[in-house]
Structure 1
Amino acid sequence: MSNLPTVAEVAQMIDHSLLRPELALDDVLAGCDLAAEYAVASVCVKPADVEAAVERLAGTGVLVGTVVGFPHGSATARVKAAEARAALSEGARELDMVLNIGRLRGGQDDVVLDDIRAVVEAAPGAVVKVIFENAYLTDAEKIRACRLSEQAGAGYVKTSTGFAPSGATLADVRLMRANVTDRVRVKAAGGVRTLDVLLEMTAAGASRFGATTTAAMLDELAARRAGRGIRGSCA
């Protein structure tokens, strides 16, 4: 079991996702409590839930993140920047923004660059993660998105929202890791529901994960490290 990361190490790779549209505020607060219990890196909540999450997680060390231009990326750069400023004013410290997918596919790289840069500049001190929504992109488009995100000053490139036809894949994680410098990290989201998938994607180059099965994955890791192997129990 010594080759496995510790539970604390993996917990600090997880953004506990609370983005489903049907979640009531009580559901979000319960998710915040779970995030605090497991000491994950952050929660990622809907913009309307930021203030409540910040209050709930005060003093726990768990950061609050939210989304910008979610889930389709089609808002204007001005609107996305306003979303970013509002989120920071309410206590968010990490922002997962969806780039303008249609403009990227249309070859309008200058528009995509300005779109990402508007959020980065509106959020000094915050971590900005750029969501590509890879289900809709070719590999060449993903590579361009990597380079534009880094040029704009983003801290992470991210595979997916979790709301498209498919989510993170090992091939995409490897491609994205290969096309940004060490300054930019890779976040995998969408379908990261088991410990084995998380560990495989870590080996492929991801260092942060959007997850809803946080407790199951971390409990399984604890069990494996204790020698009570229960592989596949959180599938």
Structure 2
Amino acid sequence: MQLKQFIDHTLLKPTATPADIEKLCLEAISHQFIAICIPPAYLQLAKSVLKSSNVKIATVIGFPLGAMTTDAKVFEAKDAITKGADEIDMVINIGMLKAGDTDYIQNEIAAIKKAIGSKTLKVIIETCYLSLAEKEAACKAALNAKADFLKTSTGFGTGGATFEDVKLMKNIAGDKMQIKASGGIKDRETAIKYIELGVSRLGTSSGIKLVTSEEN
């Protein structure tokens, strides 16, 4: 199995410099990763480095806490598209979900999807903070709001992706949404298991290690 077309080559550390982002882009070209995932401030830099490649550019919105206003997230998403993003990875408002206000979650996702049109929207539900019922509610809200992807984690919470969470997501998403597993994916065996469970993207900063281990 070739992992390269599943990998969102990711660099979201707060200390990442423009030089680090440029290096990430060049690595993505070299290894033919499907996408990079970077902070919005570096979109135009990434666009210039990747302009003659097929690598998609994903960025994060409402990241990593998700507690910004819907208006702020919508503005951020529109701004990101203007500056070259192909895909938006948004964080839901976790507190509103935990308060049981699934309408708020659904309406916010729908507003961002409307704002970005045909561009890809991935909804980060941050599974590590949620009960089983809350995970199900978040997935259903994303489905009803016509998001393109469910995504497990920011990588900045108390835990990352798990096989159990991906199974739950797949059960709700069916073939209507895709799934991105993110957080803690550091070896080839784990990556393959996620793909076998139905994941179509892997958010990882260990992408080079994953693909070079398959060549050895």
Q: Same fold (TM over 0.5)?
A: yes
Aligned partners of 1:149 and 1:181: how far apart in 2?
13
Which of structure 1's runs of 4+ aligned residues deviate more than 3 A? none
- The count of aligned residue pairs is 216
1:95-114 to structure 2, matched below 5 A, reads 95-114=88-107
Per-residue deviation at 1:181? Answer: 2.6
Contact 1:76 1:115 in 2 (8 A): no
Percent sequence identity is: 36
Aligned partners of 2:23 and 2:209: how far apart in 1?
15
Residue type matched to 2:68 in 1?
A
Contact 1:66 1:95 in 2 (8 A): yes
Per-residue deviation at 1:179? Answer: 1.1
Question: In the alignment, which of 128, 132, 154 is matched to residue 125 of structure 2?
Answer: 132
Larger radius of gyration: 1
CA RMSD of aligned residues (A): 0.7
Aligned partners of 2:58 and 2:198: how far apart in 1?
22
Partner of 1:84: 77
Deviations 1:117-170, CA, capped at 9 Å, x for gaps: 111011011100000001100111111111100111100000000001100000
Partner of 2:179: 186
Please list every run of 5 or more consecutive structure 2 residues that lacks an aligned counterpart in the other structure: none
Aligned partners of 1:11 and 1:123: how far apart in 2?
26
Per-residue deviation at 1:58? Answer: 0.6
Question: In the alignment, which of 32, 39, 43 is matched to residue 46 of structure 1?
Answer: 39
Structure 2 residue matching 1:12: 3-state secondary structure? helix
Q: Does the alignment pair 1:118 with 2:122?
A: no
Deviations 1:42-84, CA, capped at 9 Å, x for gaps: 1011010111001110111001110000001101111111001
Structure 1 residue matching 2:215: 3-state secondary structure? helix
Partner of 2:17: 24
Aligned partners of 1:183 and 1:93: how far apart in 2?
20
Please list every run of 5 or more consecutive structure 1 residues that lacks an aligned counterpart in the other structure: 224-235
Which stretch of the first structure deviates more once superposed, 86-95 or 179-188?
179-188
TM-score w.r.t. structure 1 length? 0.90
Partner of 1:229: none
Residue type matched to 2:35 in 1?
S
TM-score w.r.t. structure 2 length? 0.98
Aligned partners of 2:122 and 2:83: how far apart in 1?
18
Structure 2 residue matching 1:96: 3-state secondary structure? strand
Deviations 1:188-227, CA, capped at 9 Å, x for gaps: 000011111100111122110101111111011122xxxx
Aligned partners of 1:58 and 1:195: how far apart in 2?
29
Partner of 1:228: none
